[in-house]
Chain A
Amino acid sequence: MRKAAIACTVVAALWCGQSAAQTTAYAPGHGSPNSIVLSVPVTASINNHCGFATAPSGTYNQPDFDAVGLLHDFDFVLDCTLPLRVGVVSSNGGLLANAGSLPAGYIAFAPYDITLNLVGDTTSVSATCAAATLTTGSTCTTFLGPATTTQGLRLDDSASQTSGSYLRVSAPPYPGPDVLVAATYNDTLVVTLSASP
């Protein structure tokens, strides 16, 4: 009996502090119940996340863009459990060729527009900036990158890998008055994403 008391005491330290009732299971034929079900609740949590399921990438190459213009969509897929922002930075602010010094009336730089279209689970948002206003520190604050919690085009919605988001580059045939010299022109756009709860 003492043993039992000690055991209880020991046990009490561990168990008896908890005001749960004891249940005894008996071997069949020796009492009831014969089994006790012990429920062990299991809970878990999944952290918020935000990123591109498919990031915008690739190269769009348009011959004779001075005559036919530019039009191309870079598709991407958002995967974000929170509202988010996307920002864009243009390295050259337009299409630029390395053509050396040029005579008056000739030019090696052509402007174009960038349209950002973000599709979420229930809403979407779209905006356009001229590439010239998306160089580092420039003026199109609508979606000048890099994206942060407070900078960039905001999609006030989650986006569970919904399709339809794109970055579009567009321009009409070059209207002049300057003449674009024959050359290869390029620009690089860096697109960044940030949660914006």
Chain B
Amino acid sequence: MRIGLLSGTVLAALAFAGVAAAQTTTGTVDVVGTVGEKCTVTGGDTSTTFSDTFDALELADTDGTLRAIAPFSTAGSSWRVHCTTIPDVSISATSMANVATAPSGYANTVNYIAYADFDVVTGPDETISTPSGGSSGPTTLGSHLQNVTDNVVIRADTFTTPNVGDILVSGSYAGLITVTITP
């Protein structure tokens, strides 16, 4: 039985279609960040503290009583306090004290009034104050701190002995004003 077959090339062009599934050509990413409520200081001692010293030197007049001490202010400082929100502020002050005892007619303490002035964006500066031996606040400022150098100023004035005419016991006197700014 003959079976005639063509031995020629029979092209069977089988076209395999490529992977026709659609490819992703777009991606989307979200970048999110938060800024928490915080207060920091630039130009201070650390990122959260700043300080100054007022040395009144010789406190006694020629008659041994307290001399007239001029008011002290940190105005012109290099520090800039910045808060990401409107902060609460408070102040406390300790009297200038000498460890030596003071007999009657003498004083081993010098009192004063301490102030903190805050330069705010709306309206005039806001001030909190306390006599030494006390504190004031926390108080919420009415608006943000101005974002400028020297936006917090600490002052002291009205230096007095407990009784007018007290003679000051000799020695060193030291007091401390603390201003706290809380977000």
Which chain A residues have a beta carbon within 8 Å of chain B's beta carbons? 11, 15, 18, 20-27, 30, 36, 38-47, 49-52, 55-67, 70, 72, 74, 76, 79, 95, 97, 103-106, 110, 112, 147, 167, 169, 176-194
Question: Hey, which chain A residues are within 8 Å of B40, CB to CB?
Answer: 67
Name 11 extra pairs, CB < 8 A, besides A23-B5, A64-B38: A42-B12, A47-B18, A56-B27, A67-B38, A79-B23, A169-B31, A176-B42, A178-B147, A185-B35, A191-B27, A191-B29
Q: Which residue of A lies closest to B36 (CB)?
A: A64
Partner of A184, one of B34, B84, B144: B34
Q: How far is the CA of A47 from the CA of B14 in the complex (A)?
A: 15
B38 CB to closest chain A CB, in angstroms?
Answer: 7
Whether the pair A45, B16 counts as a contact (CB closer than 8 A) is yes
Within 8 A of A (CB), among B46-80: none
> Is B164's beta carbon under 8 Å from chain A?
no
B27 touches A110 (CB 8 A): no
Most chain A CB atoms below 10 A, which of B24, B31, B122: B31
Contact among A18, A43, A179 with B84 in the assembled complex (CB-CB below 8 Å): A179
A18-B12 in contact given A65-B33, A191-B27 (Cβ < 8 Å): no
List 7 A-B pairs, minimum CB-CB distance, nearest first: A105-B147, A51-B23, A20-B8, A55-B27, A47-B18, A103-B121, A65-B33
Q: Check if A49 sits within 8 Å of B23, measured CB to CB.
A: yes
B contact residues, total (Cβ < 8 Å): 48
Q: How far is the CA of A144 from the CA of B106 in the complex (A)?
A: 80
Report which of B3, B30, B82, B122 forms a contact with A179, defined as CB distance below 8 A: B82
Q: Known contacts A20-B7, A38-B5, A49-B19: does B34 contact A183 (CB below 8 Å)?
A: yes
Which one of B2, B4, B32 contacts A59 once the chains associate, using CB atoms below 8 Å? B32
Given A18-B6, A45-B15, do A186 and B147 touch, yes or no (CB 8 Å)? Answer: no
Chain A residues with Cβ below 8 Å from B1 are 27, 30
Q: Are A45 and B34 in contact (CB under 8 A)?
A: no
Given A167-B29, A176-B42, A40 contacting B12 (CB threshold 8 A): yes
B 89-113 binary contact with A (CB < 8 Å = 1; else 0): 0000000000000000000000000
* In contact, B9 and A39 (Cβ under 8 angstroms): yes
A95 to B35, CA, bound (A): 11
- Report A32 CB to chain B, min CB distance, Å: 13
For this complex, 5 residue pairs linking A to B, each with C-beta atoms less than 8 Å apart, are A44-B14, A44-B16, A74-B27, A185-B34, A193-B26
Q: How far, in Å, is B93 (CB) from chain A's closest CB?
A: 28
Chain A residue with Cβ nearest B122: A103
Q: Which residues of chain A have C-beta atoms less than 8 A from B14's C-beta?
A: 42-44
Whose C-beta in chain B lies nearest to the C-beta of A110? B33
Q: Across the interface, do B13 and A66 meet the contact criterion of CB distance under 8 Å? A: no
